[in-house]
Structure 1
Amino acid sequence: MNTLDPSPTIAADTPLMEVKGLIREFKAGEQTIRVLHDINLTINQGEMVAIIGQSGSGKSTLMNILGCLDQATAGEYKVYGQSVSRLDADELAKLRREHFGFIFQRYHLLGDISARDNVSVPAVYAGMDGQTRNERAEKLLTDLGLGEKVNNRPNQLSGGQQQRVSIARALMNGGDIILADEPTGALDSKSGEDVMKILYDLNAQGHTIIMVTHDPNLAAQAERVIELKDGYVIADYKNDNYKQNHVQPEPILDNNRKSVFSSFIDRLLEAFKMSLLAMRAHKMRTLLTMLGIIIGIASVVSVVGLGKGSQAQILSNISSLGTNTITVRDGYPYGDPRRQYNDDNLTPQDAQAVADQPYVLSVSPQLDTNLDVRYRNIQEAASISGVGEEYLSVSGETLIQGQGFNEQSILRRTQDIIIDDNAKKTFFPDNPDPIGEVVLIGSVPGRIIGVLAPNTGGFGRSVDTPTLYMPYTTMMSRIIGGSNIESFVALIDNNISSTAAESAIYQLIESRHGTDDFRITNSDSIRQTIESTTTAMTLLISSIAIISLVVGGIGVMNIMLVSVTERTNEIGVRMAVGARQNDIMQQFLIEAILVCVLGGLIGIGLAFAVGELINRVGGDSFQVIYSSTSIIAAFVCSTLIGVVFGFLPARNAAKLDPVEALSRD
């Protein structure tokens, strides 16, 4: 790698530029067209050279090669005594940035920024201090008669004023070599004379001027004229009346450079600013580009929130059965052929044996049946449950009126009744306090001593059928008959593993019965199953929603590719003033990331709005629960989409040929 010194100096007898046997060819389908033929010339420090020729003579191609915007097909070109062919793309950008200044016929100013910012662009890429470059840009514009126009955008300036901005930009980093392509071609006579005077003054200050023109009158005013025809140099002569001035301009960058890190941050901020300007200039396109990202992110966050809310609601309903409970039911396991022969195996003594274990907090035996219940002239089918004195603590149910059963209720087989909210509404619609009332259960009377709070979850008892509870001993002796129970529920200490407790209870009952004629259900297993199921469903639906993110990412890539095509000229201008390939890639990558990040933020906001709407409609029965993990993941995902799908357009932009890019409008 052959890197030029920031401020190279050359001996007085060494040419500033030297071209030997230079050939430039272009492909035209299957044919090759030679534009320049065996060009040999030297240009010295401080010369003012006019390259003249008719259209198609190759003069602009030669200037582009001299300015390192293009490269020769064959031959050698040296600048400051070093071969340009040995320099890579970034080293060529460094050469353009620190030693060349370009003045274009069509100005090639960036339309979204002010005159001062246009002039400052080369200094941003060169790492000049921010305050210094702004002061220098304003001074250059003031010296060129644009002191009051520094904040104007190009479309607010005349053609002559725009060309002066272009000249100021060429001088921003020093501009040892000024390359002017038809600098007066798009100007009126007065503006053209002003521009030529500026070029004369710059040459008098030691700047080397290389001007391309087809006007013999302009060429005649230069110190030296190189005439091209059909790609050949047909004349190379000097104007004896032109006063030569071979001095070197004062270096600008040497004392005004920032640190490498500060320079990188500066270029990053420049890319960020240009990205915002591009997005603002194409608001509708930017919004449509974001749409896929917005929908995808909103879908993912909403689906995860709905999944979390559903899971929480289901688990809350399970908790209404009692937390960390184990239910033992009579009968052989499902599928066991012995099941049909014997199902009266569980006894209250089994329940008591489990209750005596140190890891069990409470136990409630249970029997269930359905009977007609009558109160005065109201008769309805109801669910009847026989339960133990610890039923309320085991089930998690609460009383809103009256009292529960106690030890005496079980021992004495009292005909006390606890009713649920459905039973109260069914049999006592006009009686707010049914405590003490007597109802007839089948043919057995029972006195109401308590009323349960409404069960909105629907677990443990029916949400519609009236349910009445009585001591299980009363139900065994007076309603069903027999000495067996259907099941019992054990509440396990939360400090004990429910799996270990389940295994211990299983072994205990099996040892008592001598066989496994019972079934065990662990509420924690149900909880785990529901958690895993809802999580799996959430992931499944989220994966479907992520597809929209990918589609949105493809949309971002397509739009960014279109953006690169639309802004090819801007890319060419930035390359001409010294932007590295990384600078160009960085700018378009930042724009893609900004689009996706902004779309992600809007999507998250939309998800919150949808969730709030659902929460308002659902009330207390259902709530969307947002997951910070899913929000962060969605945000990171949208950023990664910007990086992944923005990389190709950014890379394409960085790989553009400067000359080809400048030629596009």
Structure 2
Amino acid sequence: MTISQSAKQPPNNASTSIENNSPNNTNTATTADKPIMELSGIIREFAAGEQTIRVLHEVNLTINQGEMVAIIGQSGSGKSTLMNILGCLDQATAGDYKIYGQSANRLDADELAELRREHFGFIFQRYHLLGDISAKDNVAVPAVYAGMNTDARINRAEELLTDLGLGEKVNNRPSQLSGGQQQRVSVARALMNGGDVILADEPTGALDSKSGEDVMAILHDLNAKGHTIIMVTHDPKLAAQAERVIELKDGYVIADYKTEHYKPTTRQPDSILGGHRKSAFASFVDRLLEAFKMSLLAMRAHKMRTLLTMLGIIIGIAAVVSIVGLGQGSQQQILSNISSLGTNTITVNDGYPRGDPRRKYNDDNLTPEDADAISSQPYVTNVSPQVNASSSVRYRSVQEDSTINGVGEYYLEVTGETLALGQGFDSQSIKLRSQDIILDDNAKNAFFADIDNPIGEVILIGSVPGRVIGVLEENDSGFGPDISTPTIYMPYTTVMSRITGSANIDSFVALLDDSISSSAAESAISDIIEGRHGKDDFELRNSDSIRQTIESTTGTMTLLISSVAVISLIVGGIGVMNIMLVSVTERTNEIGVRMAVGARQSDIMQQFLIEAVLVCILGGLLGIGLAFAIGELINNFAGDSFKVIYSSTSIIAAFICSTLIGVVFGFLPARNAAKLDPVDALSRD
């Protein structure tokens, strides 16, 4: 039987040697020949600066099912390049390579990965095991990408290792194994998915004599079971153990002959994957979990680098959440202070609106009857008329210029102020024009600094005596009357009749029902007063508009400062991208191994993308935790005067943001990893 071979004559015009040392073989083809690999005019060139180096010169070969082939030659002869093309790790520059009758030149990256996954098994000189996982998991990696059932995968990996004498080492990592044991793990991995074709690159090159003999015995046994063995070696003694030898020199095939061991066979290895495959979705989930596990292992192996990578994300997320919390706390504090003037209130002031030229001609048109008219409206809860005056106030030897406020019986309810001592005014106080007074905290300190409880004391407002019936709580909100001037409160009817002598009021405050729109109530009140007066000689002030303005202002400030904090997130994302690019560079060899055993480009991409996302998610969680710690610190030191209030929306948004950063900034490194050429990746350490 003749195995077809042709090659361009080498430059030295040496004749190509085709020999058959087996006396039992003839030059007549038999039915035992079953070509699985056919190479026609294969050329492989590599760029070297501005020049191109040709490593293989129009190689023509046919390799049949069940053969044990040794490719031999000196270093630089092109034997490893030829093996890489045969194993679909590399592609020829020119020529055609058919595998199982299908042209490899027309297959895309994932289709080539499928060939490596389903039909090839690789045994490398330097083992190329994944150092972070056990021997069993190393062996099982090809089956993960092939979609083999989990139980079947684990059982087969353990059986293979046991058959190869490593039954007690299945959970050991590569660093815990000798060179010979690591090579056995590599053999078991090559057989995991069946491995119709086993490609061994210098399988005994890094082993001692005994381990080398053991590996060769394993290869002979595999060949006897129907596996096609293609072995690259520079050792003629090792090549002599094969059934067929292909010799290369300077990229040319100079010899192709059968040895005395040649035995034609049509036996095929047992099918492994057929009955053990998962569904497409289950297989995808399995590969996702494998990528997740490898990402965690990579992060654990480089703890300090992972932490430094997270740092930008941690700071950015903590800044965003803390700033939003500070903004919320500031807003609530300001609104709480405003509530001391009354919440959801409308104040009607006498006089034309600001900017109206008639404003200086104030004819005092606002009356208590106007306040009564508004108080009868269904959307108004309470109304307090107000009259303002100033007078000299004296208690014994203490005399101060003070502000006199005439108010209604519902003043405290309308404004939200509270009493520290005593009581407020009632309807009888208003009706009988009682000379009762309430002091604010400044008035109490001015006139009764040495008296804890001034209730019942009498003071003179001008020439009008008044009896103290109440003291207000201190108002330190910054809103309301001038806090530097003592303020005396009396029934507005008393102030009108005994102090100002006027029948008009200066203003009144209407407390609205919380279920009513303040803007609608404001419009209705305006219409009523204008209808009563026949003109718009009054001015409205809506406390809700103040609240909205403050909310808008604090919200804008929070957004502005948060946008600055987001910049730190972007910077952190760039840091993640840079570190992931470094990680891809460091783990190029691992990527090559995964591609060699059948990983798709999407499998490689999702592994590095998951790692980037995990870094950002973990950084985001730590950032949120840091923000809570900062907030707790501020709340403890600030006491009741100020609180950091966390927004669940900002926390969720920050978490989503950190995840998106992982996706966006992890995509480029992941894509670069997926686009690596398998043979280039394997050649890097």
For the aligned pair, the TM-score class normalised by the smaller chain equals over 0.9
1:323 equivalent to 2:336? Answer no
1:464 to partner: Cα distance = 5.2
Equivalent residue of 1:152, what SS?
Answer: coil
Tell me which amino acid in the other structure corresponds to 1:399.
L
Distance in 2 between the 1:458 and 1:209 partners? 89
1:124 to 2:124 alignment:
no
Task: Give runs of aligned pairs for residues 104-253 of structure 1, distance below 5 A.
Answer: 104-253=124-273
RMSD of aligned C-alpha atoms? 1.8
Note the C-alpha offset of 1:217: 1.1
> Match for residue 585 of structure 2?
565
Once the two structures are TM-superposed, the CA of residue 553 in structure 1 deviates from its matched residue by 1.1
**Structure-2 residue corresponding to 1:599:** 619
Deviates more, 1:395-404 or 1:156-165: 395-404
Shift of 1:652: 0.7
* Post-superposition offset of 1:214: 0.8
Runs of 5+ consecutive residues of structure 1 not aligned to the other structure? 1-10
- C-alpha separation between the residues in 2 aligned to 1:192 and 1:79? 30
- State the Cα distance separating 1:607 from its structure 2 match: 0.9
2:439 matches 1:412: no
How far apart are the structure 1 equivalents of 2:326 and 2:484?
27
User: Does 1:308 pair with 2:328?
Assistant: yes
Equivalent of residue 679 in structure 2, options 648, 656, 659: 659
TM-score normalized with structure 1 length:
0.95
Deviations 1:164-202 (A, max 9, x none): 111111111111111000111111222212211111111
1:519 matches 2:539: yes
Q: Which amino acid aligns with 1:61?
A: T
Task: Kindly state the Cα deviation for residue 430 of structure 1 after the two structures are TM-superposed.
Answer: 4.4
One-letter amino acid matched to 2:416:
G
Q: Which residue of 2 aligns with 1:339?
A: 359
* Rounded Cα–Cα distance in structure 2 between residues aligned with 1:626 and 1:41: 72
1:7 aligns with none
Q: How does 1:365-444 map to 2 (within 5 A)?
A: 365-444=385-464
User: How far 1:627 sits from its partner (Å)?
Assistant: 1.1
CA distance in 2, matches of 1:81, 1:529: 77
Shift in Å, 1:323: 2.3
Supply the AA of the counterpart residue of 2:281: F
TM-score norm. by structure 2 comes to 0.92
Separation in structure 2 between the aligned mates of residue 658 and residue 178 of structure 1, nearest angstrom = 17
Aligned length: 655
Q: CA deviation at 1:497?
A: 2.3
SS in 2 for 1:16: strand
Paired position in structure 2 for 1:532:
552
Q: 1:608 aligns with which of 628, 631, 643?
A: 628
Distance 2:441 2:499 in 1: 23
Moved more, 453-462 or 94-103: 453-462
Residue 437 to residue 12, structure 1, CA distance change in 2 (3 Å): farther
1:597-636 deviations in Å (ceiling 9; x for gaps):
1011111111111111111122222211111111111111
Residue 301 of structure 2 corresponds to residue 281 of structure 1: yes
Shift of 1:566: 0.9
Partner in structure 2 of residue 100 of structure 1: 120
Deviation per CA, 1:123-153, whole angstroms, max 9, x where unpaired?
1101111121111111111111111111111
On the 8 A contact 1:47/1:246 being kept in 2, the answer is no
Alignment partner of 2:454: what SS? coil
* Distance in 2 between residues matched to 1:229 and 1:126, nearest whole Å: 37
The answer on whether the counterparts of 2:241 and 2:261 sit within 8 Å (CA) in structure 1 is no
After superposition, residues 466-545 of structure 1 pair within 5 angstroms as: 466-545=486-565
Report the alpha carbon displacement of residue 465 of structure 1 after superposing the two structures with TM. 4.3
Partner in structure 2 of residue 74 of structure 1: 94
Letter in 2 for 1:322: G
- For 2:74 and 2:681, locate their aligned partners in 1 and report how far apart those are by CA, in whole Å: 23
For 1:185, what is the secondary structure of its paired residue?
A: coil
Deviations 1:429-482 (Å, cap 9, x if unpaired)?
A: 443332111123344321111222343534334555443211122223333343
Q: 1:578 pairs with 598, 618, 621, which one?
A: 598
Residue range with higher mean Cα deviation, 417-426 or 165-174: 417-426
Gap change, CA 1:461 and 1:616, over 3 Å in 2: farther
**Contact 1:49–1:210 under 8 Å retained in 2:** yes
Distance 1:355 1:180, change over 3 A: same
- Is the contact made by 2:33 and 2:65 (CA closer than 8 Å) also made in structure 1? no
Q: Which residue of 2 aligns with 1:630?
A: 650
Q: Take 1:59 and 1:370, find their aligned partners in 2: how far apart are those partners?
A: 108
Structure 1: how far apart are the matches of 2:401 and 2:682? 89
The secondary structure found in structure 2 opposite 1:439 is strand
Three-state SS of the structure 2 residue aligned to 1:320 is helix
**Contact 2:242–2:261 under 8 Å retained in 1:** no
Contact 2:179 2:206 in 1 (8 A): yes
Partners of 1:603 and 1:426 in 2: how far apart?
Answer: 51
Paired-residue identity, %:
80
- The letter of the residue matching 1:529 is T
The whole-number CA distance in structure 2 between the counterparts of 1:145 and 1:551 is: 52
Q: What is the CA–CA distance in structure 2 between the aligned matches of 1:420 and 1:519, rounded to whole Å?
A: 27
Q: Which residue of 1 aligns with 2:3?
A: none
Identify which range, 411-420 or 300-309, moves more after superposition.
411-420
What secondary structure sits across from 2:212 in the alignment? helix
Residue type of the alignment partner of 2:228: T
Name the CA distance, whole Å, in 2 between partners of 1:237 and 1:463.
109
What amino acid is aligned across from residue 344 of structure 2 in structure 1?
N
Q: 1:241 to 1:353 in 2, by over 3 A?
A: closer
2:573 and 2:444 map into 1 onto residues whose CA distance is 59
Deviates more, 1:348-357 or 1:625-634: 348-357
Q: Distance in 2 between matches of 1:649 and 1:94?
A: 24
In 1: Cα distance, 2:33 partner to 2:259 partner: 20
Aligned counterpart for 2:369 among listed residues 342, 349, 362: 349
Q: Which deviates the most, 48-57 or 405-414?
A: 405-414
Checking the alignment, whether the CA contact within 8 Å between 2:42 and 2:95 is kept in structure 1 is: yes
The code of the aligned residue for 1:28 comes to: A
1:360 Cα deviation from its structure 2 partner:
2.2
Query: What whole-Å deviation, never above 9, does each CA across 1:358-417 have from its counterpart, x for those lacking one?
Result: 332221111234444433344445433111122122112233432211233223322111
